[in-house]
């Protein structure tokens, strides 16, 4: 675990923000009793993970850890 970096990268922030929006949509859908909108929100959460990983692979994330 890095003592100074904490994963503050554009890839991490973008993935988290997209996932947060998805959780908000899914949560609102539960309150509104809309199953379709809930699944859309959960799909947005998954999209956040995919976008974050794609950005990491494009060089916008933390470099992989090397051996100790």
pLDDT digits (tens, 9 = 90+) for 19-63: 999 999 999 999 999 999 999 999 999 999 999 999 999 988 887
CB 10 within 8 A of CB 58: no
Q: Give the total number of structural domains in the chain.
A: 1
pLDDT for the residue 67: 63
Burial of 60 (0-12, 13-18, 19+ CB in 10 A): middle
Rounded CA-CA distance 47/54 in Å is 10
CB 48 within 8 A of CB 16: yes
In a domain, 29, yes or no: yes
Range of the domain at 36: 21-54
Distance set, CA 36 to CA 2, 19, 28, 48 (Å): 40, 17, 12, 19
Task: Please indicate whether residue 6 or residue 56 has the higher confidence score (pLDDT).
Answer: 56
In a domain, 31, yes or no: yes
Q: What is the pTM of this model?
A: 0.83
């Amino acid at each position: 675990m890095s003592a100074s970096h904490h994963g503050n990268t554009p890839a991490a922030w973008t993935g988290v923000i997209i996932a947060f929006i998805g959780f908000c949509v899914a949560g609102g859908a539960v309150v509104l009793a809309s199953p379709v909108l809930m699944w859309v929100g959960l799909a947005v959460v998954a999209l956040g993970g995919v976008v974050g990983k794609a950005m990491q692979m494009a060089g916008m994330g933390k470099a992989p850890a090397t051996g100790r």
